[in-house]
Structure 1
Amino acid sequence: MTTDLEKAPEALQQLVADSDTGGRKPTGITAGVIFAVAMLWALFQYWYASPLPFALGFGILNDTEARAIHLGFALFLAFLAWPAFKRSPRNRVPVVDWLLALVAAFCGAYIMLFYTELSTRPGQPNTMDIVVGFAGVLLLLEATRRAVGWPMAALAAIFLAYCLLGPHLPDVLSHKGASVNRLISHMWLTTEGVYGIALGVSAGTIFVYVLFGALLDRAGGGNYMMQVSFAALGHLRGGPAKVAVVSSALNGMISGSSVSNVVSGGIFTIPLMKKAGYGGVKAGAIETMASVNGQIMPPVMGAAAFLMVEYVGIPYADIVKHAFLPATLSYIGLLYIVHLEALKMGMQPIIKTTPKPWRIRVLRNAIGIAGT
């Protein structure tokens, strides 16, 4: 099955790969290893999220162990999937990245591998603990730089530096500070640093939801929502722009990525909007705004909803319920804007010369609503 993303130009496919799946496209054994590790990660997450461990009586993991495995998988794949720099090879994985991936996976899973030993000496890290923790923090920053970009890695590094440089800062910003050993121990050997709430939400909830959305999109869910939007709005005044808004809202309900949302929908809607008279800049702006707004559309909300549940303590159902109205209003506002733009440009609706019988229209709408 050919997906919408596979129909996009190669440059756009590379943009999505750089953002979502890494920029590399290795072949042979390397591709097999990445696929196998990714499958093991997905199976582990489904095992951890399911009631099977408790029903079968084995494979039961506590939160800390699950977070360590989750981080180990993530770091291993990060160094294999994302190249270090733009000029780095993309059809193979350098030996250095293999070594970094193995070391990062060990550091990520360290708290699980030595869980018993660490529990017998809380707050008293030995030299091995500090070395592994220091390497783990550096490798996590590097993986973040590769996958997300310099801004997030630099922000994390600034806060780490603030912990160490507290006594040397001006009075307003000064604090007692912390030693390197204490900082590393707190960040890597407790559940208040890297293995805190955010990683727990990712391991317990976000991964499964995002994987489900990705599978649904690859199975044709995004294309189906696009077709439903075209059937409902394509004939209206400024129809292509309204289709872009509604289809992006529907895709945002299952997708955790704004970039893939823009590309998968934009390859259809942007040319149609340009043909309708919106112009390239306006067409790109409409598609981008509609796709980025998908990050506030329930139920996934770009994974933010699950973090809010843990940090704020509000039930997930309440967050979705209260987020639905402002998200809907934002899309209504976008529809209103593109409609006004269509009126200003003198666009006309497409008149159907041979309307279908009412029975067929009712049946078609019922099938579309039921499928959606």
Structure 2
Amino acid sequence: MGAFILNVVLLLSVEVIVIGGVVLIKYSNVIHKRTLIIIALALSIITMCVNPTKYWDLYRQYAALNEIKNSGIDFIDLLFNNKLRIGGTDYVQLFFYNIIRYLVVILKNNRMLPFIMTFITYGIWCYITIDWNKEHYMSGNDIVISMMLCNVFMPFIFVNSGLRNTTAAAILALAIYNNMIKKHSFIEFVILFFFAFTVHFSVIYVVIIYLLSKMRHTKLAVVLLFFGTNIIPYIAGTFRNSKYEILSKMSSSFAIYTEKRSSGINYYLIGAYIVLIGIMISLLIEKKNNIENSKEIVAVQSFLIMMVISSVFNLGYLEMILRPLYVLGVLSTPVLYSVCGNDKRINTWRQLVMVLSIVCGLIFVLRISLPEYMMITYC
């Protein structure tokens, strides 16, 4: 009976996403906040209904949840005194992630883990999109393009199969947005970074890029980024066996990400690079036309440029390119606005470049992800 209900909910969720997209396009003069939130809820339900393959990280996370459930370990011990490494050695130091996991254990349904984490991810995207639109008008058509851009930089299948990295990226995106656009305190930024960091350690790299983007001397920031990307493999190798567990785990992750440069074809990477090239072309067109921007747009563009440069410096390191881009996926609405502008009379070419690059990039992403969703089972 439970599986039947989940299947019905799954089908309804797919229909909701389609109808939501139609509503945004048909009634493009108004941003339908409830529609966006319902779409986020529908996406969360879909991740909840998927039966992960053994190659997905979610498969291992379900096994870890069962271990926590069967052990009977209490909340405090799971967070601060888990000497037996119950629930997985790699997750012991992940404070916020373990809070979510214990909540799922209390709810007695492992499928609530992807639901909660996916809703956090897309819920933050909704908040940023709605808040940005208060000061920078974007039509419903623009929001649909923003959703497509989000799926290029942060493919839905990665949200579904991995959970931790995309959720951490979303929390960090919120921290960056509030600090960069809303001018919230640096203390809030640090607190949100802590939550993101204790879901997935890799987000620390994006924090470094963000702080470099705030430097007044851009050339110096680029030089520091160049040296940073080149010494990461050596630093990771040095501290991989550190006696400090957090440093050791973080170094091990980055050592894996930078183990060797790959020259093979990856459709997710091709899709991302197509959009990054489109972004740079759009910014060059803007510079040629001497278009003046607000401080918020300049800040977003500075961060964007540093992310593009990072992707160039990390050429061949697949994970070091794709994982940081998850943050841009959650920030897709400010990103789209900052590279397209709003005045169609002077920004036609920029908008055309971006729409074409996003559509082409999404085709490459769906070329791989859609067949996999056709093969896996549900509920």
TM-score normalised to structure 2 length: 0.27
Which has the higher Rg, Structure 1 or Structure 2?
1
TM-score normalised to structure 1 length: 0.27
Q: Which has the higher helix share?
A: 2
Structure number with greater CO (CA < 8 Å, separation at least 6) is: 2
